[in-house]
Amino acid sequence: MSLLKDISDWLTSKTQPDWVSDAGRRIFQQGQLTDTDIDDLAALLKSSKGIPDPKGRVAVRLDPSIVPAGQPDGAVITLTAIRQPVAINALAHSEGISFEHEGLTVVYGYNGVGKSGYGRALKAACRARDTERILHNVFNPPEAIVAPQAVFEWNADGAAQSVQWVHGQPAHPDLSSIAVFDARCARLFVDQENEIAVTPYGLDILRELVRGFDSIRAKLDEDIRANRFDQAKLAPLRGETEVGRLIANIGPKSDRAQFKRLATLTAAELDEQVRLHKQLNLDDPIKKAAEIRRQAQRIDALITEINQSATILSDPQIEALRQAMVLYVATEEASRIASSELSENGAALPGTGGEPWRHLIESAMTFAADVAYPGEQFPAPTDGSKCVLCQQPLDHDARERLSRFVKFLANDTQMKAKLRREEAFKLYKPVSEAKPELVPSNKTILDEIRDLQTKQGHANPEDEQGQVITSIADQVASYLAELAKRRDVVVAMAKDRKIDTLAGLSHGPQEQLLALSTRLVREAEEIEKQVEPTERKRCTERLEELNARIKLTDLLPLVYESIDKAILTTSLQGCLSMTDTTAVTRKSTELQKKAVAAGLNDALMSELNQLSLGNVQLKWELKGNKGSGKQQLKLTLPRPVERMSLSDVLSEGEQRAIALSCFLAETRLAHGASGIVFDDPVTSLDHVRKEVIARRLVREALDRQVIVFTHDLAFAWELLDAAKQVGAKAKTRHVYAAGSRKGMVNESLPFEGGKLDARINDVRSKAAQARKALDENGDYQSYELLVRRGYGMLRDCWERLIEEVLFGDAVRRFRKSVNTKNLKMASVDDEDFEAVWAGMTRCSNFTHDTPLESPIPLPDIAGFVADIDMLAAALAKARERQKNTETRRVAKVPAAR
């Protein structure tokens, strides 16, 4: 088998996840994976780990039919029906055709009745080496041309499946497991070179698969980061309670039911919580004091934060910045004048004396002192030394110019300008970086201050109604907004290096906040003087448990979200492990050492021997062709001869048998036991080869579904007889035409192909039709035609009675052999002779032409039925005598058993 086939087998094996097989399918079809493919495959991988896909994408496993000379592994696929054919030749039977899902199904029909339509649909939808164009009914063309289509039904490992197949569109991957053989496929097996390996392409497939794995892994990493849950949302539930301990260990294995149980409080528990809360709020000084102290601490923290911003943006600081800006601008102007004078005294370039220029000269001085001329005065020790900037020799004028530059930089004006600039920046930086809008860091503190107004008996030194407390909160917000506005004004003015005098900063709320904090501390100190009973500790712990459970009730959706995200993260991490490329790398290494799977030649020789072709010496020949391998069937000759194909040497019948051997050899090597279809496999074969092939196909039907289309009634009988001999399940289908309607199907062979009992039943059916035509419709003409046709069928039944029963099926018309063993059942006595003579005479009277002078009247329906009953009675007696005869003869000659 080919390298591509090996890769296909690997990608379609049951051990390979669906999404990996789908990735292989896309690479085979497109050559590379697009961004959309990566998105799809990542979703399919996550679905395989239980992560739902909002788009409902479903993996489509690699269809081996797109891989040269391949048959897929995977589920056992058995075809059960082709329904509702549309625009497929002249097929006009909506019920289509059904097949037995196991054993042998023999589909018999004359030429031109619709078998080829079903066969062409099978070849197009399933796996065949050659397909044919499917036309609509050219003799009765439809008004609107539509694509040929049908509903295919099959079993996949016993599970019923169906799909609407449309010709020209990809068929369902399962259907490629059904292999189809017919006359057109035979020529491909015998003559054509079948590509089995294109190593670079195969390795490219695996390399692209690795790239796809890496891209999917990157997407999974993004998903994991995006899926992180902010555990701070569950902070209110933390603590030394049962809920707190569960929250501390929350994760993918957390039990939702346990959280739900804790979040569900009974009426008694709710009453208990209210009682304990009231009791401890009134009676527990330690808890009350601790709560008040914590409030005071939060207010102190707020005072500190306000003071930090207020200090930076205070009037003295802004005034200091304003003065620094004035000095900076003044010294900068003096520096500019000095720079201008320096330029007028010889500097040739504009900007000399400016900031970039100063950095340049200072850097040059540092380089000269540290590297070029250490220990020497800048610019250089002597005339002729090189300039550290341009690397050219310095003359006297150049040295003087650089010396003036140094003196300029050392000038008090320049030094002061630099110093004032740094001082101004030092004062400006904290102002520009102040963030009063972020105060307070604890955003709930203002709400807490406002909330105090509703609690009687708490720290409120001025107003029992809480008005002062509320105004403090409002003052804080207003004061912070004033600070932010002041900062923005200063920053805007600083762009012009000029700070105008600002209106004075309002008096902040710090004093009121400090007074409130002080009052709270005093109150806490007073409360702590109370005595705490021992029982209070137990009540406190119980109340904390109940409070935690009540909080859990509100936060339960967040708890579930945390668990869901933990589960999802675990699943995503599991997906990450699935993108490990070790297995792909290992497979690539393996395939580099292997080109053709062993066993094909041995399988072919075995099949040739089974089809009586062992004398034709054949072998598979592997040929190299620019890095790819090709296999071709070759004759093994005693000495080299000119180039020729098998079709130049072998007869058409031998070619057909060899092609069938090749097909069966490849089928044998393929893993799995899906159905196979043969369309007229014995065309051009003699009766000896037909019998051999019939036995071979029946043996195959013991292990898998086998469907055989044939117009050869003798071959159909050979198949049924061979199936009976080996105990294989076998059923028949009869495809026939009803006028222009093709593809009609019965589940039994036509009258001429049926067994004797079935034939008698068909004659009785004709009698029933004749009775209805005469009694119900008064149609004597139809009655006469039905009865005369019935007597013709009855005569055929008498003839078949002779073959099957009286002669024990020892001889049969057109069968080449005499089954001598069946003579033990053969028995003809006078009673048999008389019955056959009488029955055949009656039938001849009504099937042959009679004289005009004395025509024999057609019997009534009762007479016709009596003649049928006479045949049935003769059959019953003959079979009873046959059984007794066989028993007697076997007793005399035990070997006959």
Rounded Cα gap, residues 814 and 106, in angstroms? 20
β-bridge pairing 179-181 and 618-625: unpaired
Identity at 548, one-letter amino acid code: A
Q: Do the Cβ atoms of 150 and 168 come closer than 8 Å?
A: no
Confidence of residue 387 (pLDDT cuts 50, 70, 90): confident
Rounded Cα gap, residues 802 and 809, in angstroms? 8
Q: What is the mean pLDDT of the chain?
A: 78
β-bridge pairing 179-181 and 628-635: unpaired
Report whether pLDDT(370) > 70: yes
Report whether pLDDT(249) > 80: yes
* pLDDT tens track for 209-222: 888 999 999 999 99
Report whether pLDDT(338) > 70: no
β-bridge pairing 706-710 and 104-108: parallel
pLDDT at residue 79, rounded to an integer: 94
C-alpha distances out from residue 181 to 17, 683, 698, 715, Å = 31, 12, 16, 17
pLDDT at residue 670, rounded to an integer: 59
Confidence of residue 598 (pLDDT cuts 50, 70, 90): very low
862-891 mean pLDDT: 86
Helices (H), 313-395: 315-344, 355-367
511-531 mean pLDDT: 75
Report whether pLDDT(151) > 90: yes
530-535 mean pLDDT: 58
Instruction: DSSP for 729-783, please give it.
Output: -EEEEEEEEETTEEEEEESS--GGGS-HHHHHHHHHHHHHHHHHHHHTT--HHHH
Give ∠ CA 810-721-688 in degrees, rounded to 5: 80
pLDDT at residue 147, rounded to an integer: 85
CB neighbour class for 879 (10 Å; exposed up to 12, middle 13-18, buried from 19): middle
Report whether pLDDT(728) > 50: yes
What's the token pair of residue 610?
């089974």
Residues listed for the chain: 897
More confident residue, 46 or 653: 46
More confident residue, 612 or 189: 612
Report whether pLDDT(152) > 90: yes
Q: Do the Cβ atoms of 12 and 61 come closer than 8 Å?
A: yes
Q: How many CB atoms lie within 10 A of CB 206?
A: 21
- Residue in this structure with the two tokens 């580099």, named with its chain if needed: 592
Report whether pLDDT(186) > 70: no
Rounded Cα gap, residues 28 and 8, in angstroms? 9
Share of the chain above pLDDT 70, in %: 78
pLDDT at residue 261, rounded to an integer: 92
Instruction: DSSP for 103-123, please give it.
Output: SEEEEE--TTSSHHHHHHHHH
Q: Lowest mean pLDDT: which of 298-312, 459-473, 489-503, 620-634?
A: 620-634
More confident residue, 489 or 205: 489
pLDDT at residue 557, rounded to an integer: 92
DSSP type of residue 393: B
Q: Do the Cβ atoms of 801 and 836 come closer than 8 Å?
A: yes
pLDDT at residue 643, rounded to an integer: 61
More confident residue, 852 or 143: 143
Q: How many CB atoms lie within 10 A of CB 852?
A: 6
Confidence of residue 143 (pLDDT cuts 50, 70, 90): low
Report whether pLDDT(592) > 80: no
pLDDT at residue 468, rounded to an integer: 46
Instruction: DSSP for 139-167, please give it.
Output: TS--SS----EEEEEEEETTEEEEEEEET
Whole-prediction pTM: 0.45
Report whether pLDDT(525) > 80: no
Report whether pLDDT(785) > 50: yes
pLDDT at residue 761, rounded to an integer: 84
pLDDT at residue 99, rounded to an integer: 92
C-alpha distances out from residue 16 to 11, 45, 49, 367, 509, Å = 6, 12, 14, 68, 71
pLDDT at residue 530, rounded to an integer: 46
pLDDT at residue 38, rounded to an integer: 92
Q: Tell me if residue 239 falls in helix, strand or coil.
A: coil
Give ∠ CA 112-116-119 in degrees, rounded to 5: 160
* pLDDT tens track for 429-484: 888 888 888 888 887 888 888 776 455 344 444 444 444 445 788 888 888 888 88
Q: Lowest mean pLDDT: which of 113-117, 128-132, 187-191?
A: 187-191
What's the token pair of residue 476?
């804080």
Report whether pLDDT(818) > 50: yes
pLDDT at residue 438, rounded to an integer: 87
pLDDT at residue 333, rounded to an integer: 65
Q: Do the Cβ atoms of 436 and 480 come closer than 8 Å?
A: yes
Q: Lowest mean pLDDT: which of 438-442, 718-722, 821-825?
A: 821-825
Q: Lowest mean pLDDT: which of 51-65, 637-651, 741-755?
A: 637-651
Identity at 382, one-letter amino acid code: T
Identity at 121, one-letter amino acid code: A
Share of the chain above pLDDT 90, in %: 8
Identity at 22, one-letter amino acid code: D
Q: Lowest mean pLDDT: which of 285-289, 567-571, 718-722?
A: 285-289
Containing 196, the helix (H) or strand (E) segment is strand 194-198
Report whether pLDDT(599) > 70: no
* pLDDT tens track for 754-774: 678 778 888 888 888 888 888
Beta bridge partner(s), residue 735: 745
pLDDT at residue 827, rounded to an integer: 82
